[in-house]
Structure 1
Amino acid sequence: MSIEPVSRPSALSRHALSGPAMGSRWSAVFWSNAKVDIDALTGRLQAAVDRVEQQMSAWRRDSDLERLNATPVGAWTAIPRELSKVLTTALDIGRRSEGAFDIGVGDLVRAWGCGGGSRTPDAELIAGLAGHPSFEPPKTLQLDMAGGRARRLAPLRLDLSGIAKGFGVDELARELGATGCSCWLVGIDGEMRAEGVKPDGRPWAVAHEKPVPGAREVLGMLELSGAAVATSGSYRHRVEVDGRTTSHTMDPRRGAPLDNDLSAVTVLAETCMVADAWATALLVAGAVRGPELARRQGLAALFVRTDGTVLEAWP
């Protein structure tokens, strides 16, 4: 965990905080004219992302998500309010994206070796998993929001990798906003959310990364204020299957790792949870259907094709 306060010759002081989060790092940069208990704030921010990981990690056997996955089919299990919120949003975006985003891909992820399972998937198993969205029978997840519980009506394994990190950013934003600070930028591994403008009156500048494997190059800059941004791509996290390097993102309709003409999709939205999930959905949708879907849903999105061409979709 690191703390890097930087003073400015004004009534405002800049603070930069960071710590471990979901296999990566969280960060928070903010300006404040009030006395801030940095140690206490850092602890609250760390606790916020730790709570999200404890609830939603597909890698921790003791997470609330894995407890739900292990509960017998048809049996109700109590789940935290935050997890219920994320599951509800995920199912809604799954429907609206016509299955391009689907949290019921946990068995596919494991079958293809993206979660530490086999790297030579069984064809019959894949055929049985493909094209059956988690929000439609027979693979149905049922939520009881008022009762704080959920149950699976079929033996599907849930995976929130495409939305949990974005929600973690929103939790950082909630904690920082609760301090009364009105000028901040928070993020986890490139998923960002910003509020207010900096003391010079300018919005927060966030790099739009060029999707180049093994490199960090800037394609352009995005200015954020009162908005969130998330990017999903097939260039950063990849796996090797039978000697072939492929994307770690699953195409739930094909039951296989994503293989289309897009390298990355960046989405701007009010919350990072929504931006994160839609970035994955539009990446899976592809360079033709993706922009059409974004416009229908009123989303602001940037699509980078494998040949480097940039396509834009604005509401």
Structure 2
Amino acid sequence: MSRTSTEAACGLRRVALDGPTMGSRWTAVWHDDGAVDAMAVGRALAAAVGAVDDAMSTWKPESDLMRLNRAAVGPWHPVPASLAVVLDTALAIRRASAGAFDVGVGRLVADWGFGAHAGKADGLPAAPGGLDVATLEVDVAGARVRKLAPTALDLSGIAKGFGVDELARVLDAAGIENHLVGIDGEMRARGRKPDGAPWAIAVERPEPGVRAVHGVVALEDVAVATSGDYRHFRGEGADRISHTVDPRSSRPVRNAVASVTVLASTAMVADAAATAITVLGSDEGLAFAGRLGLDALVLLRRPDGTLEERAGGRFAAQADVAASAGEASSVGGVSSGASIRNHAT
């Protein structure tokens, strides 16, 4: 059940809703004149992200994704339209990133000790990591998928982003023209705040166990996602193992990338692209972002522990990132979780 809070802001009612989903919480913020039935909208939001979780979770044995993982090789299998769209997008980003982003790593993720099947991989087919170009066929129009080889699909690098897009879809359908929605480190903004300012979020400094602000990003009609090595990992120091697996080497990523923040038209694309850049590293990753017309900020960890920025698109001009903890802390709001802190007001 979602939680709802309202308060006056700029002569309008401020509505902030949130609820549990995908091991985290979804959030939604908007302002209105009181005519919107916030509780009804909240129920629709919860139902939307619940449907995504039911379709794409690796934690639910009877999710549509896990049934597809167990399905026979060869015939076409009907799937929810949403799952077909996400798989089709995932394959497109796999091609664009030359395999750096790959949803066929479910077995690898489990074998390296992460995710729902950490260390045991029960319920997953005994398939090699990564997707061969002929492993999966997706018919979006027909909402069906065909496997041409065994595969263990894991959508943890794209499903939350799609869930955020679904939150935005619900608010758009309700006629709420200006809003900010998010799940964990994925956010999507529509329009502006009542005072005409863009929505503002803070990019966290990528330090394990620390909640510190690196900079502030202004959002208007755009989605943002962050991937990093500082929230989900095993071990310590030089022995730390990242939860992000490089499908090309079948091993966890070991490079200087501490975090990647990507702006895109949809949270689904931003989510997947942030993971791809984490795997590719700064140079190849920024080139990949440039080919897709995406804006990206890469924070690299130097040997002495300090951070170095590499940026592409609008981030390169530093116009949209204020590397100022003071500015971020002056913007009140709701915490969104792992990688991005939502400072919406």
* TM-score, length-scaled by structure 1: 0.92
Cα distance in 2 for partners of 1:97, 1:209 equals 26
Residue in 2 aligned with 1:6?
7
Residue in 1 aligned with 2:261?
266
Cα distance in 2 for partners of 1:116, 1:275 equals 23
Could you give the per-residue CA deviations for residues 157-209 of structure 1, whole angstroms, max 9, x where no partner exists?
11100000000000000001111111100000121000111111100001111
Native 8 Å contact 2:234 2:240 kept in 1 = yes
Residue in 1 aligned with 2:164?
169
> What secondary structure is seen at the aligned counterpart in 2 of 1:236?
coil
Native 8 Å contact 2:75 2:146 kept in 1 = yes
Identity, in percent, stands at: 50
Which AA in structure 1 matches 2:36?
Answer: V
Native 8 Å contact 1:112 1:120 kept in 2 = no
Residue in 2 aligned with 1:306?
301
- How many residues matched? 305
Residue in 1 aligned with 2:133?
136
* TM-score, length-scaled by structure 2: 0.84
Cα distance in 2 for partners of 1:70, 1:219 equals 43
Cα distance in 2 for partners of 1:42, 1:249 equals 33
Could you give the per-residue CA deviations for residues 9-50 of structure 1, whole angstroms, max 9, x where no partner exists?
62x211000000100000000011251112111100000110
> What secondary structure is seen at the aligned counterpart in 1 of 2:174?
coil
Which AA in structure 2 matches 1:28?
Answer: A
Cα distance in 2 for partners of 1:283, 1:258 equals 8
Native 8 Å contact 2:206 2:258 kept in 1 = yes
Q: 5 Å matches for 1:28-177?
A: 28-115=28-115, 117=117, 119=119, 129=128, 133-137=130-134, 140-177=135-172
Residue in 2 aligned with 1:26?
26
Unmatched tracts of structure 1, length 5 or more: none
Instruction: Compute the displacement of 1:258 (Å).
Output: 1.0
Q: Which runs of 4+ in 1 moved over 4 A?
A: 116-121
> What secondary structure is seen at the aligned counterpart in 2 of 1:136?
coil
Aligned Cα root-mean-square deviation (Å): 2.1
Distance change (3 Å), C-alpha of 1:118 and 1:16: closer
Could you give the per-residue CA deviations for residues 54-79 of structure 1, whole angstroms, max 9, x where no partner exists?
00011110100001001011132110
> What secondary structure is seen at the aligned counterpart in 2 of 1:41?
helix
Cα distance in 2 for partners of 1:32, 1:196 equals 13
Distance change (3 Å), C-alpha of 1:30 and 1:152: same
Cα distance in 1 for partners of 2:255, 2:46 equals 37
Cα distance in 1 for partners of 2:256, 2:31 equals 41
> What secondary structure is seen at the aligned counterpart in 2 of 1:4?
strand
Instruction: Compute the displacement of 1:144 (Å).
Output: 2.1
Unmatched tracts of structure 2, length 5 or more: 315-345
Native 8 Å contact 2:137 2:146 kept in 1 = yes
Native 8 Å contact 1:32 1:183 kept in 2 = no
Native 8 Å contact 2:137 2:145 kept in 1 = yes
Which AA in structure 1 matches 2:158?
Answer: I
Instruction: Compute the displacement of 1:295 (Å).
Output: 1.7
> What secondary structure is seen at the aligned counterpart in 2 of 1:202?
coil
Cα distance in 1 for partners of 2:283, 2:178 equals 37
Which AA in structure 1 matches 2:92?
Answer: D
Distance change (3 Å), C-alpha of 1:19 and 1:118: closer
Q: 5 Å matches for 1:190-205?
A: 190-205=185-200
Native 8 Å contact 2:225 2:267 kept in 1 = yes
